[in-house]
């Protein structure tokens, strides 16, 4: 089945073509305009999607060498995400599906992130535990099978990526913070400051990163600008280590609870080199399988949306034209 996937939930306009769940093209336009504001400005992001969605789709069709009339279904993210941004993708997809007389399916963005793993692992992976860590979400999901999920734990405040972005802002490292902190931390001392790790109640699989962010802010407020600048990479590395430690500890707890030996990663923070490095070592040590998508498929992209759409549409599950944006959509089972 040839599927056109559309993703516009935040600041990436993306379109992809998949055939039977395999990528033919995956075009991602990242809105760099937000860099100057130090964060995503929702209204600007929506307007940018309107401008770029058409050329991005055309490029995806051209790279896939697929004419529009061959597309058999459209999959579009309906939430969670920024409402204005979601509406651009949804309205556009509805209009196209209606005019081409092909089915439309609304896709949950968190589920799509999980599907990024299936795009690259030829053998079907489930059951496994998936750590979904991005700018908007941090949760542990028991993926029993495709379409059958149980949320085991989630953040009670900030998402891990959000913490990276906020700490980068307060240390004046730049935006988006995650990749920049990752880069400068490579030369930093991870034990320069012992920031707190919020493990919460015994056995809890929830997360909390707002205390860590505040701890970095309090630490930095006691230092001169010169000292911060001199030790920026050390503070960044110490912060990153604290985030990685918590994510890893909770993931291992979740594997135990789910009696699973398979861990998948998803979302932008799954790109983090220290998280991957420490998890690789743990996986060897504790003998569990570790999967993560390639770089491009960790952050927001339409290939993961198309792959998820392929799964539903091939079972005859589709949305109608009343499909609407749900900014706080939760992941649910079919
Ligand atoms: O999945 P994504 O593109 O968007 C959401 O669904 O939120 O994730 C974006 C987030 C941002 O917070 C960004 O700072 C973070 O992923 N990120 C990273 C890295 N690359 C991206 N965080 C830590 N280390 C990285 N290398
Ligand atoms: Zn995302």
Q: Give backbone dihedrals phi and psi of 75, rounded to 5 degrees, phi first.
A: -115, 130
Residue 215 has φ and ψ, to the nearest 5°, of -60, -40
Question: What's the gap in Å between 182 CA and the centre of ligand 1?
Answer: 11
At residue 199, does pLDDT exceed 90? Answer: yes
pLDDT of 115-125, one tens digit each?
999 998 877 78
DSSP assignment of 73-118: EEEEEEESS-HHHHHHHHHHHHHHHHHHT--EEEEEHHHHHHHHHH
Which one of 3.30.465.10, 2.40.270.10, 3.40.640.10, 3.30.420.40 gives the CATH number of domain 2-113+297-314?
3.30.420.40
Would you state the pLDDT for residue 333? Answer: 79
8 A C-beta contact, residue 220 and residue 167 = no
Delimiting residues of CATH 3.30.420.40 domain(s) in the chain:
2-113+297-314, 124-293
Instruction: Name the residue of 161, 246, 303 whose CB sits within 8 Å of the most ligand 1 atoms, as the mutation to test its pocket.
Output: 161
- pTM of structure: 0.96
pLDDT band, residue 140 (cuts 50/70/90): very high
Structure confidence by residue, pLDDT tens digits, 297-313: 999 999 999 999 999 99
Check pLDDT > 90 for residue 126. yes
Residue of the CA atom closest to atom 16 of ligand 1: 268
- Nearest to residue 42, comparing CAs of 263, 325, 315? 325
Residues 243, 126: Cα–Cα separation, whole Å: 26
Superfamily of chain region 124-293? ATPase, nucleotide binding domain (3.30.420.40)
Q: Dihedral sign, CA of 106, 109, 111, 116?
A: positive
7 pocket-lining for ligand 1 (C-beta < 6 Å) = no
Which residue(s) pair with 54 in the sheet? none
Q: Say how far apart CA 12 and CA 30 lie, in whole Å.
A: 5
- Which residue's C-alpha comes closest to atom 22 of ligand 1? 178
268 has a pLDDT exceeding 90 = yes
> In angstroms, what is the span from residue 137 Cα to ligand 1's centroid?
10
Q: Which atom of ligand 1 is the closest one to the Cα of 161? A: 12
Which tokens belong to 173?
A: 């490292």
Atom nearest to 136 CA in ligand 1: 7
User: Which residue of 9, 133, 299 sits with most ligand 1 atoms within 8 Å of its CB, as the best mutation to test the pocket?
Assistant: 299
Ligand 1 atom with minimal separation from the 137 CA: 7
Q: Which atom of ligand 1 is nearest to the CA of 298?
A: 1
Got the DSSP string for 147-213? TEEEEEEEBSS--HHHHHHHHHHHTT--SSHHHHHHHHHTTS-TTSS-------STT---B--HHHH
Nearest to 297 by CA among 282, 284, 308, 287: 308
Q: Which ligand is nearest to the CA of 161?
A: 1
Measured in Å, residue 113 CA sits from the centre of ligand 2 at 7
């Amino acid at each position: 089945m040839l599927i056109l996937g559309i993703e516009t939930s935040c600041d990436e306009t993306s379109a992809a073509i998949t055939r039977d769940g395999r990528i033919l093209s995956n075009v991602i336009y990242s809105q760099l305009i937000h860099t100057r504001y130090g964060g995503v400005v929702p209204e600007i992001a929506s307007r940018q999607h309107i401008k770029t969605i058409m050329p991005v789709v055309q490029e995806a069709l051209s790279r896939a060498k697929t004419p529009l009339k061959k597309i058999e279904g459209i999959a579009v993210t309906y939430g969670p995400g920024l409402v204005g941004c979601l509406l651009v993708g949804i309205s556009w997809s509805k209009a196209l599906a209606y005019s081409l007389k092909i089915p439309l399916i609304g896709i949950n963005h968190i589920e799509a992130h999980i599907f990024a793993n299936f795009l690259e692992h030829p053998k079907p992976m489930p059951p496994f535990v998936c750590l979904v860590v991005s700018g908007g979400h941090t949760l542990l999901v028991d993926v029993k099978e495709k379409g059958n999920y149980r949320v085991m734990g989630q953040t009670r405040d900030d998402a891990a990526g959000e913490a990276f972005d906020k700490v980068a802002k307060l240390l004046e490292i730049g935006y988006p913070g995650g990749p920049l902190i990752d880069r400068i931390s490579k030369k930093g001392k991870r034990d320069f400051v012992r920031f707190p790790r919020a493990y919460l109640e015994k056995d809890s699989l929830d997360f909390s990163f707002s205390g860590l962010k505040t701890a970095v802010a309090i630490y930095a407020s006691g230092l001169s600008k010169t000292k911060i600048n001199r030790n920026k990479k050390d503070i960044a590395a110490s912060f990153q280590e604290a985030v990685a430690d918590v994510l890893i500890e909770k993931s291992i707890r979740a594997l135990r609870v789910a009696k699973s030996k398979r861990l998948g990663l998803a979302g932008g923070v799954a790109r983090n080199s220290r998280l991957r490095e420490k998890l690789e070592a743990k996986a060897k040590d504790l003998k569990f399988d570790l999967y993560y998508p390639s770089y491009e498929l960790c952050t927001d992209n339409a290939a993961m949306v198309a792959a998820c759409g392929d799964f539903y549409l091939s079972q005859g599950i589709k949305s109608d034209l009343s499909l609407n944006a749900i900014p706080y959509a939760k992941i649910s089972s079919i």
